[in-house]
Amino acid sequence: MKEIITYAVITGASSGLGKAFAFELAKRKVNLILISLPHEGLEEVVQQLRAYLIEISCYETDLRCSENIVSVSNSINSNFNVSMLINNAGMGGTKRFLDADTNYLNNIIQLNVMSTSLITRALLPNLLRQKQSYILNVSSMAAFSPMGFKTVYPASKAFIHHFSRGLYQELKDTSVFVSVVNPGPMKTNKDCTDRINRQGLLGKLGLLTPGKVAEISIRQLLRKDTVIMLGLGNAINWLLMMILPIWVRLPLLTKVIEREIKKDKCFQKV
Ligand SMILES: NC(=O)c1ccc[n+]([C@@H]2O[C@H](COP(=O)([O-])OP(=O)(O)OC[C@H]3O[C@@H](n4cnc5c(N)ncnc54)[C@H](OP(=O)(O)O)[C@@H]3O)[C@@H](O)[C@H]2O)c1
């Protein structure tokens, strides 16, 4: 009998954690469908991945736009069998809410919340057709507590967390396994790296490389771990967030985050 070729879809695969997921899966000889924004270096990533001798297809599109999600998903569903979906593309930032303009707010909500929900819905019939398939949603430690000066980002990641847990339960008796990973800080893009550097010691608790996060996440996903925790630092972080009452946790975290903005202002004066 002819073997069915299946693929893993990774959103936001041109850099950071998404790129690390692509390499981790390539090492495991998983064929890939990579999605990222146009002209952001995806071709270069594909060239590097060729060494693993796997099948690779790419879509360069802006996932903030629902029409793009529909057309990419239609194309994937017509051409490929999908046995894994990694919803990694996401963005955040630190700003006073009054300084957050429409674009900033729209970008976070559309990419983190809307695109994750729509692409999952669109690819689900394809995933359900496979003997065994996986969905991994990338949330964040920020999902576990609200915080000032980030406001929308932790709320969007709490959405991802709850969405994943609900979908897991709903699909429990099907061939689709759903998991969520909550990374702590990772020095991926320049903005993230600068922000982590400005946060002080508490902000660096649980710091891991994107490669390590991808390695642990894929290992645990395949072991069917429903909520993936990454290392001791993040486990301590999580425990603190569960133990500390909200009236201690909320001002404490907000103070840590506010440092990013205050230090930013210092930089501007120099
Ligand atoms: N870094 C951290 O400290 C941290 C901590 C916890 C959770 N996370 C989460 O981890 C995930 C990856 O973050 P990262 O730090 O690796 O970010 P990153 O380096 O900025 O990478 C984000 C990826 O998403 C893609 N992307 C951004 N906007 C897009 C759009 N509109 N349409 C399609 N693709 C788009 C980017 O593609 P282009 O390169 O083409 O722009 C890039 O490949 C995110 O969900 C983030 O919230 C990050």
Contact indicator for 94, 260 with CB cutoff of 8 Å: yes
Taking the CA atoms of 180, 134, 213 and 57 in sequence, report the sign of the dihedral they define: negative
Is the CB–ligand 1 distance for residue 185 below 6 Å? yes
57 phi, psi to nearest 5 deg: -125, 150
pLDDT in tens, 2-59: 678 999 999 999 999 999 999 999 999 999 999 999 999 999 999 999 999 999 999 9
Start-to-end C-alpha separation, the chain: 69
How far apart, in Å, are the Cα atoms of 234 and each of 141, 185, 207, 216, 241?
8, 9, 8, 13, 10
Question: Which pLDDT value is given to residue 2?
Answer: 67
pLDDT at 199 over 80: no
Is the CB–ligand 1 distance for residue 188 below 6 Å? yes
Helix axes 210-222 and 16-27, enclosed angle (nearest 10): 50
Take residue 96 and report the two structure tokens written for it: 């006073």
pLDDT at 211 over 90: yes
Is the CB–ligand 1 distance for residue 194 below 6 Å? no
Q: Which has the closest alpha carbon to 217: 187, 179, 247?
A: 179
Q: How confident is the model at residue 265 (pLDDT cuts 50, 70, 90)?
A: low
Q: Which residue has the tokens 């903030």?
A: 64
pLDDT in tens, 72-85: 999 999 999 999 99
Q: Which has the closest alpha carbon to 184: 246, 147, 238, 146?
A: 238
Q: Which has the closest alpha carbon to 86: 166, 6, 11?
A: 11
Question: Which pLDDT value is given to residue 225?
Answer: 98
Q: How confident is the model at residue 1 (pLDDT cuts 50, 70, 90)?
A: low
Q: How confident is the model at residue 264 (pLDDT cuts 50, 70, 90)?
A: low
pLDDT in tens, 49-80: 999 999 999 999 999 999 999 999 999 999 99
Mutation choice for ligand 1 from 9, 11, 15, CB with most ligand atoms inside 8 A: 15
- In the chain, the percentage of residues whose pLDDT exceeds 90 is 87
Which atom belonging to ligand 1 lies closest to the Cα atom of 68?
32
Given the residues 7, 134, 153, 168, select the one marked as catalytic: 153
The residues near 160 (Cβ < 8 Å, ≥ 6 apart) are 87, 90, 112, 113, 116, 137, 138, 139, 140, 143, 180
How far apart, in Å, are the Cα atoms of 151 and each of 78, 82, 92, 133, 154?
39, 34, 10, 34, 6
Q: Which has the closest alpha carbon to 182: 233, 222, 227?
A: 227
Residue 153 annotated among the catalytic residues of the structure: yes
pLDDT in tens, 242-254: 999 999 999 999 9
Contact indicator for 249, 255 with CB cutoff of 8 Å: no
Q: How many Å apart are CA 62 and CA 236, to the nearest integer?
A: 36
Take residue 60 and report the two structure tokens written for it: 């360069």
How far apart, in Å, are the Cα atoms of 256 and each of 187, 192, 194, 196?
17, 15, 14, 10
Question: Which pLDDT value is given to residue 269?
Answer: 35
Q: Which has the closest alpha carbon to 47: 61, 36, 58?
A: 58
Is the CB–ligand 1 distance for residue 69 below 6 Å? no
Q: How confident is the model at residue 196 (pLDDT cuts 50, 70, 90)?
A: confident
Contact indicator for 254, 63 with CB cutoff of 8 Å: no
Domains and CATH numbers, the chain: 6-269 (3.40.50.720)
Is the CB–ligand 1 distance for residue 122 below 6 Å? no
Q: How many Å apart are CA 194 and CA 187, to the nearest integer?
A: 8
Question: Which pLDDT value is given to residue 267?
Answer: 44
Distance 16 CA to ligand 1 centre (A): 6
Mean pLDDT taken over the chain: 94
- pTM comes to 0.95
Distance 245 CA to ligand 1 centre (A): 31
